[in-house]
Structure 1
Amino acid sequence: MRRRLINSTLSVVLVVIAVFGVSLFLVETRTIEASARDRLEAETARLLADVESRIASGEPITAKEMAASAPPDRHVVIDLLGQPPIQLGPAAGENPMESTESGAHGETVSVQQPRSVVSDEIGRMLMIILVVSLLAVAAAALLAVQQARRVSAPLTDLAETAERLGSGDPRPRHRRYGVPELDRVADVLDTSAERIARMLTAERRLAADASHQLRTPLTALSMRLEEIIATEDVDTVKEEAAVALSQVERLTDVVQRLLTNSRDPRLGSAVGFDLDEVVAQQVEEWRPAYRGAGRAIVHSGKQGLRAVGTPGAVAQVLATLVENALMHGAGTVALRSRVTGNQVVVEVTDEGPGVAKELGARVFERTVSGRNSTGLGLAVARDLAEADGGRLELLGLSPPVFALFLSREAESSESVP
């Protein structure tokens, strides 16, 4: 492209120089010839006037007398009646330029100059035109190179940016070039880069969230299946199979919610639901795992509470807190329901060492973990809580107290256990 721009610019300049140069040469040539002829005629008229003046005054007209009046670089011929012609100056050579005038007494004066005088002047004029033309071509070439570089370099840079986008590097470069059209393309590429970066981040986050959110239901489901395999009691098998079926339904709900949030995270499905039912479900699901670890899980607090949110998301948040208590805590894990203002709160606490002080303010950040875990669980749980209009907070470090705040649906009959 750079070569094409240079060639096109030089072609335009050469065409302009050719047209105007030839025209200028023709005009100047005619001007030089006309000026030379006018000078010859003026010198001829002056010499004729001098000759007539001498004839009128009776002065002699000889070569010696007329030498002072004749131009030294011209060949002058004075022809008088009854006298031989008087010739002055060097011969003009072949095909000279000549001007001849006759006087009132029959005298004739001719002035000649070599054609080379005019040719030399035309040659000097032609040389000046050629030099100016070469300077113009050189300036045009320099300008064309600079302009081609100014246009091609940004295009090369934009091509590299597009190639980087195609290779999976969506970082915007924020480079501008001072050319409105190219800057517009750069703006579009930067906007596309930011959009691709957001999409890639969302996809990676969805993959991480999906792996973490699906792990807990699958773990609980596998424990139920192990219970079924380990027992021969038909009633126990039926009971465990029913629980496993409910866990499969919850797993399906998690998958559906993940797909919905990946399409549009603003879409919500908050409804009024029985909070006790969700908490009891989690206690029942995790009791075998705690029993296997020699620990207990209990539920206390107000009953009959109804909250506004997504039951599946609330269950996932509680499952994350209960699983963290199982993995990192110790002793009995307690789930306590209470009311504060127009919100219902579910607190999850255990008897373990709790959360380190240096992690207290960052415990909900992604990749932050003090026990060699992924660091995604609490971050995903907080996102789920906020998506339902609630919040997840760490109220105490040691013993650890995590609290899930949800909007309360309405006043209802409540009883203290």
Structure 2
Amino acid sequence: MRRRLIQSTLAVVLVVIAVFGVSLVIVETRTISNSAQERVDSEALRLASIVDGRLMDDEKVTAEVLKEQLKGQVTEDRYALVSMPGKDPVEVGSRPTGDVIHATTRGEEGETVRVEEPRSAVTREVGRTLLIIGLVALLAIVAAVLLAVRQASRLASPLTDLASTAERLGSGDPRPRHKRYGVPELDRVADVLDSSAERIARMLTAERRLAADASHQLRTPLTALSMRLEEITLTDDPDTVKEEATIALTQVERLTDVVERLLTNARDPRTGSAVSFDLDEVIQQQVAEWRPAYRSEGRAIVSSGKRHLQAVGTPGAVAQVLAALIENSLMHGGGTVALRTRVTGNQAVIEVTDEGPGVPSDLGARIFERTISGRNSTGIGLAVARDLAEADGGRLEMLQAKPPVFGLFLSRTPLRKTPAGGDSGPTVR
């Protein structure tokens, strides 16, 4: 592209120089020729007037005397011939050979004055003019080449840079450059590429987050399902097989719910399908599911508090939040894990606590941030749990650091939907 820009600019300049240069040469040549002819004509008239004056003063003036008087009046490069009636002609200067410029004038006393000038003088003047025009054209060509090189660099370098940016986007590096070039069209392309980079970055972040969340959230149900299937393979009792298969099917349903929930949050974190449900069922399900894991660690998991509480939310999402808290206690806590339910105002609260050392002081409120973990874990569980709670209008908080107490707050009043599908406020229970 750089070469094409230089060639096209140079071609335009050469065409302009050819058109205007030829015209200028023709005009200057004619101007110089006309100017030389006018000088010769003027010289002939001047000499004729001098001869008229001498003849009027002295009619018997000789040709020799007149010649001596005219020598100082004719320049060296010109030739003058004065023809007078009844007298010898007077020649002043050397008669030029070849092509000449001449002028003939008749005086008042009947004399004829002819002035000649060699055309070579005109040719030399035309040559000097052509040389000047050629130098100006050469300077114009050099300036055009330099300008074309600069303009080509100004246009080609940004295009190369934009191509590199597009290639970098295609290779999976979505960082925007925020670089502009001072050319509106190129800056517009840069704006579009930066916007695309930001969109790609958001998409990649969402995909990576979904993959991380899915890996974390599916791990526990899959582990529990594997345990149930192992129980089935180790027993020959049909009743036990039936019971374990029923539990396994429940785990499969939970897996399906987890996947659907993750996909829903990936599309819109605030999209929920909150309903009124019994907290006891979800809590007992989690206690029964996690009891074997705690028993294998020599620990216990219990539930207490107010019974038969109705809460508003998505049962599957609430189960995932509790599972994240229980698993967190299993990995980082100690002693017995207790799930307590209570009521505060119009909210049902599920507290999850254990007898472990608690949350380190350097973590504090950052415990809900992604990648923040007190040990060598992913740091995703509590962040996902908080997102799930907020998606249904609830909230997850750390109520106490030592011993650790986490509280899941859920509304006890369902939201009344307006005809347009909006929330108009809580109903009176």
- TM-score, scaled relative to structure 2: 0.92
Unmatched tracts of structure 1, length 5 or more: none
Corresponding residue for residue 121 of structure 2: 117
Change (3 A) 1:111 1:249: same
> Which amino acid is 2:23 matched to?
S
Tell me the percent identity: 69
Q: After alignment, is 104-113 or 223-232 more displaced?
A: 223-232
Corresponding residue for residue 36 of structure 2: 36
Match of 2:313 among 269, 292, 309: 309
Corresponding residue for residue 224 of structure 1: 228
Q: Contact (CA 8 Å) 1:243, 1:285: kept in 2 or not?
A: no
Q: Contact (CA 8 Å) 1:63, 1:88: kept in 2 or not?
A: yes
Corresponding residue for residue 420 of structure 2: none
1:6-405 alignment runs, 5 A limit:
6-58=6-58, 60=61, 61=63, 62-405=66-409
Corresponding residue for residue 3 of structure 1: 3
Q: Contact (CA 8 Å) 1:223, 1:288: kept in 2 or not?
A: no
Q: 1 CA distance for matches of 2:157 and 2:234?
A: 72
Map Cα deviations across residues 183-237 of structure 1 (whole Å, 9 max, x no partner).
0000000011111111111111111100110011112222233344445554444
Q: Contact (CA 8 Å) 2:269, 2:387: kept in 1 or not?
A: no
Q: Contact (CA 8 Å) 2:372, 2:379: kept in 1 or not?
A: yes
Unmatched tracts of structure 2, length 5 or more: 415-425
Q: After alignment, is 189-198 or 327-336 more displaced?
A: 327-336
Change (3 A) 1:266 1:398: closer
> Which amino acid is 1:383 matched to?
D
User: SS where residue 398 of structure 2 aligns?
Assistant: strand
Q: Contact (CA 8 Å) 2:101, 2:118: kept in 1 or not?
A: yes
Q: 1 CA distance for matches of 2:347 and 2:412?
A: 5
Q: 1 CA distance for matches of 2:358 and 2:394?
A: 23
> Which amino acid is 2:322 matched to?
L
> Which amino acid is 2:88 matched to?
P
Q: 2 CA distance for matches of 1:352 and 1:53?
A: 137
How far the C-alpha of 1:241 sits from its partner, in A, is 2.5
Q: Contact (CA 8 Å) 2:270, 2:392: kept in 1 or not?
A: no
Q: 2 CA distance for matches of 1:329 and 1:69?
A: 126
Change (3 A) 1:28 1:44: same
Q: Contact (CA 8 Å) 2:270, 2:390: kept in 1 or not?
A: no
Map Cα deviations across residues 35-75 of structure 1 (whole Å, 9 max, x no partner).
11111111101111111122222252521122133333310
How far the C-alpha of 1:99 sits from its partner, in A, is 0.5
Q: After alignment, is 381-390 or 170-179 more displaced?
A: 381-390
User: SS where residue 368 of structure 2 aligns?
Assistant: coil
Q: 2 CA distance for matches of 1:386 and 1:186?
A: 38
> Which amino acid is 2:7 matched to?
N
> Which amino acid is 1:5 matched to?
L
Corresponding residue for residue 417 of structure 2: none
> Which amino acid is 2:261 matched to?
R
Q: 2 CA distance for matches of 1:189 and 1:320?
A: 40
User: SS where residue 363 of structure 2 aligns?
Assistant: helix
Q: 2 CA distance for matches of 1:23 and 1:100?
A: 32
RMSD (Å) for aligned C-alpha atoms = 1.9
Q: Contact (CA 8 Å) 1:216, 1:320: kept in 2 or not?
A: no
Q: 1 CA distance for matches of 2:115 and 2:360?
A: 118
Q: 1 CA distance for matches of 2:194 and 2:231?
A: 55
Q: 2 CA distance for matches of 1:264 and 1:195?
A: 16
Map Cα deviations across residues 106-129 of structure 1 (whole Å, 9 max, x no partner).
311110111111111111111111
Q: 1 CA distance for matches of 2:234 and 2:406?
A: 34
Q: 1 CA distance for matches of 2:305 and 2:237?
A: 34
User: SS where residue 357 of structure 1 aligns?
Assistant: coil
How far the C-alpha of 1:238 sits from its partner, in A, is 3.0
Q: After alignment, is 144-153 or 281-290 more displaced?
A: 281-290
Q: 2 CA distance for matches of 1:70 and 1:232?
A: 143
